[in-house]
Each structure stands twice: as C-alpha cells, then as structure tokens.
Amino acid sequence: DADVTQTPRNRITKTGKRIMLECSQTKGHDRMYWYRQDPGLGLRLIYYSFDVKDINKGEISDGYSVSRQAQAKFSLSLESAIPNQTALYFCATSDSRRGRETQYFGPGTRLLVL
C-alpha cells in the first residue's frame, strides 16, 4: 500500500460547489502539507500543519480551508469552487524528528472546475 494516499484522484465539479480533497498517510509523520500545481509551473504551498489541530497558511491560502483532526489525515476544502482553482493538488508529509524537510508526496488529485 502507498504511504501517502489521496482521494479522489480525479474530480470534476461546477463553479460554486463545495468540495473536499482527502489525504491519508501511514508513515507516522507529524507534518502534512497541501500544494497545488498549475500546468508548466512548480508547486505552490496552500496550507501546512505541524500536528493535530495546528494549521498554517502557505503562499496561496485564499479560497481554501483545511482540517487536521487526526495525525494521519489532512483534508483540503474549496468552499465555493471557481474555475481558476482547476489544478493538480498534492499532499505531502514530513517527519519533524528527522530535522529537515524531506517531504514525501502523494499521487495527486486532478481537479477540474467548470
């Protein structure tokens, strides 16, 4: 089984809909991250969490919210989806006990907002 899983892998939604992307990990890592990637560009950080209930904004948090109710799960919500949120979304984890930010990524969720 994969260490970092994301559901769904693909999603099509309409403008104005609320959707949630889920991330689960079995690595036992305390830190989790959500990134988005637009075509031809690098990844941009949306939110990150150092532990349960800890939430920190990243570079592009507007229009998104997250929840970290358990160490193994980190969910990303789009409260009212808009077309420019069409992107590839990645979840990542890291272990603070290892000191540095070696992050391990999930397979991604491809989101299309019509």
Partner 1 sequence: DAKTTQPPSMDCAEGRAANLPCNHSTISGNEYVYWYRQIHSQGPQYIIHGLKNNETNEMASLIITEDRKSSTLILPHATLRDTAVYYCIVSWDSGAGSYQLTFGKGTKLSVIP
Binding-site member from 76, 78, 106, 111 for partner 1 (CB under 8 A): 106
- Using the rule CB under 8 A, give the single segment among 9-17, 61-69, 72-80, 85-93 that binds partner 1: 85-93
For the CB of residue 84, give the shortest distance to partner 1 in the complex, in Å.
19
Q: Where are the alpha helices (DSSP H) in 1-114?
A: none
Site for partner 1 in 12-51 (CB under 8 A): 31, 35, 40-45, 48, 50
Alpha-carbon span 58 to 89, nearest angstrom: 14
Rounding to the nearest 10 degrees, give the CA dihedral for residues 101, 55, 105, 85: -130
